[in-house]
Chains A and B, each alone.
Chain A
Amino acid sequence: MSFFAITRATLAKDIRLEWRSKDAINAMLFFGLLVVVIFSFAFDPTAEESRRIAGGLIWVAFLFAAVVALNQTWARELRNQVLDAYRVSPAAANPLFLAKALGNFIFVCVLEALMTPLFIAFYKLRALGPAWELAPIALLGTWALVINGTFFAAISLRTRSREIMLPLLLFPISIPALLGMVNATTAVLSGEESARFWIALLLAYDVVFTTVSLLLFELVLEAE
């Protein structure tokens, strides 16, 4: 099978599984909803204040919610030794990784699409800058979280208490990406400065870590 055939098959399987069980998306949505509600009680901001803090709130909420989906990416493949079967098959490692990353990307994007209206309603948000810039920010930012998250989820499979290990690895490495997402969003919402630099930073982050992940994933999968 070619690279893309494997990617497509794995991705289709993951989406079908998720569509039938809706485990990850339900957990993420409920978690995100809780964060929105709790933050709105904790701060109760005016429109002016929320413009300054919303960027941080939104992305922290998405980050925590994404960890829920990321944690069960590979756990599903451990049951019934699917991962071992994949390892002994002649298929390359990278298409599998790419399919998993794309799957998580889709799940987290769906989550964001559903949560954003809630954030707008609860925090009375209205962008003063060019709002269309939020689309590339969200896509690049989500990819940044998901590419490293998928990779580190595969790494934390090899550790004790893997659910704890994933955020411990992911959060420090994601700091520049988070800084980029949060500041870009705040820049667009407040309309005070341009978000260009932050978008470029996110792009650089995505390019660097996508390349490294694809180069090194085979080592992680085969690490026995």
Chain B
Amino acid sequence: MRRGFTLLALATALLLSFALYEALIAAPTEQTMGDVQRIFYYHVPSAWTAFVLFLINFVSSIVYLIRRNPKADILALVSAEVGVVFCTVVIVTGPIWARPVWGIWWAPGDIRLTTTLVLWLIYISYLILRRMSTGGRTPVIAAVVAIFGALDVPLVYFSIWFFRTQHPSPVIGGGGSLDPRMAHVLLINWAAFLCLAWLLSWVRCELEVATRRVDEAQALESLRESSR
């Protein structure tokens, strides 16, 4: 267990520094956007990682409702929290990229940015619910809300898609294929960020298990004191 963790931490550190080198130095400079385009190597893999984590949250919420296994509940909580962290990275780096390229910080009609923002809001409200909820019902209620949130995502996507076709706005990408070398760097960065997400989730899981154990022990202690 301990050794596995150390190995993962080492691998993540190595992979992240290699990915950083690839993104900043080895990757070719984009012709129209210039060096700013390199933000892409952090922005896009973070977004993909966040989506993977939210998917894990959705699946483990369903599993929890069927099996009532506390492990599934912990996994749902951890993936949502780490997902929000990665989503924050996406939302912060997005405008930093948009500013020099489009000339504006935020494009309300841009489908990916806006969908990500709504996703971020939904999962933050999920985390607030988990924190505010009382008693042993938290896992069930949280799982229910997670399912609502996940089902909302396609609706958000379609509504913004139509909103965009009404209000034209600067959108990058679209057609045109990616340079294979850029795609390569992108995948390396994604692998690195997935490892980082795994590492963070691991730490968070351990923390959650320890917290629950302490809470239980505290409850027992106060029970013992009151019965004395």
Contacts and interface: CB of A to CB of B under 8 A. Distances in A.
Q: Do chains A and B touch in the complex (CB under 8 A)?
A: yes
Interface of A: 148, 151-152, 155, 158-161, 165, 168-169, 171-173, 175-177, 179-180, 183, 193, 197-198, 201, 204-205, 208-209, 212, 216, 219-220, 223-224
Given A171-B125, A176-B152, 20 more contacts: A152-B145, A158-B141, A160-B133, A165-B128, A168-B125, A172-B121, A172-B124, A173-B122, A176-B155, A176-B158, A176-B159, A177-B155, A179-B163, A197-B162, A198-B162, A219-B144, A220-B140, A220-B144, A223-B140, A223-B141
A201 B159 contact: yes
Max chain B C-beta neighbours (<10 A), residue from A171, A179, A198, A208: A179
A179 B159 contact: yes
Interface of B: 65, 118, 121-122, 124-125, 128-129, 132-138, 140-141, 144-145, 147-149, 151-152, 155-156, 158-160, 162-163, 166
Contacts of A171: 121, 125
Contacts, number: 92
Main secondary structure of the interface of A (DSSP, over half): helix
9 contacts: A160-B133, A169-B125, A172-B125, A172-B149, A177-B155, A179-B160, A208-B155, A212-B148, A224-B136
A152 B158 CA distance: 23
A211 B88 CA distance: 32
Name the residue in B128, B134, B144, B151 with the highest tally of chain A Cβ atoms < 10 Å from its Cβ: B144
B152 A173 contact: yes
